Amino acid sequence: MINMSNSKFTTNELMAVTASRLLKDGQNIVVGLGLPQVATLLAKSTHAPHLNIIFEIGVVNPESVDTGVGIADPRLWYRSDYFTSFIGSLGHILQRGLVDVGFLGGLQIDKFGNINSTGVHEKDYFRHINGSGGAADIASYSKNIFAIAKHQKRKIVDMVDFITTVGYLNGGATRENSGLPKCKSIRIITNLCVMNFNNQLREMQIESVHPGVTKDQIIENTGFDIKFAGDLKETDLPDDNEIYLLRNVIDPKKLYI
């Protein structure tokens, strides 16, 4: 293998690699388009060849060879193991409790890991943008939630404008008290750092800082007074194989990285 220190990589590549390494072999992942999918495919190409990939639209374990515009694009259905209905994917698999990781994006994420994919408050109205799709369902029933987001003041916020998907709700045991199943862990991967909620309050904290990023940069770009974990680390670097795969196999057209 080539010496790691020779690697140059983009922030998106680092995010994809970091997220990919959080996935474990044999897990069942419900995943959306974009960097989450790129990260999942990278994991499958490296340390986790037996990941099962599930798209809410009713597609299991595709092996796409062309890049699609969304999960409704048949490019993403090529060489699937199984096709099913919404109830088949989000009912019989997800709600049945078989999904280890729900891998989401969103417009805003708040300090308790709640995600907004519906819309945002503008001066005098609520600007509607998208909606839940399967996201609310995925966050309700996945054992672990991962999200990838841009680290901006208006995106990593104290309270989301709309709770489309519940993370730890108002922190502590409020998620469970609302009636939802427990969520073992939430991980947020941004362009600046990785965040978890591994404390009693279930409040967002910085787990690792990407190489070259300063604490101040993170503080500046976060919409609330963010905490740093006691055992704060630097995010591990991608290795050359990962970068090679991302650039040449997984996203050669550079649509997402």
Catalytic residues: 56
Positions in 181-200 near another protein (CB under 8 A) = 181
The answer to whether residue 117 forms part of the interface with another protein (CB under 8 A) is: yes
Min dist. Cβ of residue 68 to another protein (A): 8
Pair 103, 29: CB distance under 8 Å: yes
**Interface pick for another protein out of 11, 46, 130, 185 (rule CB under 8 A):** 130
Helices vs. strands in the chain: H and E counts, helices first: 7, 15
Secondary structure (DSSP) of 108-173: EEETT--EE-SEEE-SSSEEE----TTHHHHHHH-SEEEEE----TTTEESS-SS-SB-SSTTSTT
**By CB under 8 A, which span of 130-138, 203-211, 214-222, 229-237 interacts with another protein?**
130-138
Q: 16: Cβ–Cβ under 8 A, 6 or more apart, which residues?
A: 35, 38, 39, 42, 246, 256, 257
The answer to whether residue 132 forms part of the interface with another protein (CB under 8 A) is: yes
Structure tokens at 73: 């694009």
The answer to whether residue 98 forms part of the interface with another protein (CB under 8 A) is: yes
Min dist. Cβ of residue 16 to another protein (A): 18
Min dist. Cβ of residue 150 to another protein (A): 17
**Interface pick for another protein out of 2, 4, 83, 219 (rule CB under 8 A):** 83
Q: 73: Cβ–Cβ under 8 A, 6 or more apart, which residues?
A: none
The answer to whether residue 148 forms part of the interface with another protein (CB under 8 A) is: no
**Interface pick for another protein out of 109, 162, 197, 235 (rule CB under 8 A):** 162
Pair 46, 241: CB distance under 8 Å: yes
Min dist. Cβ of residue 123 to another protein (A): 13
The answer to whether residue 163 forms part of the interface with another protein (CB under 8 A) is: yes
**Distance (Å, rounded) from C-alpha 72 to C-alpha 91?**
19
**Would you give the DSSP letter of residue 20?**
H
**By CB under 8 A, which span of 35-43, 115-123, 195-203, 234-242 interacts with another protein?**
115-123
Write the binding mask 24 to 63 for another protein: x where contact by CB under 8 A, - elsewhere. Answer: -xx-x----x---------------xx-x-xxxxxxxx-x
Q: How far is CA 48 from CA 45, 99, 132, in A?
A: 7, 15, 29
**By CB under 8 A, which span of 133-141, 149-157, 202-210, 246-254 interacts with another protein?**
133-141
Q: How far is CA 52 from CA 5, 71, 98, 186, 210, in A?
A: 32, 16, 11, 20, 28
Min dist. Cβ of residue 63 to another protein (A): 7
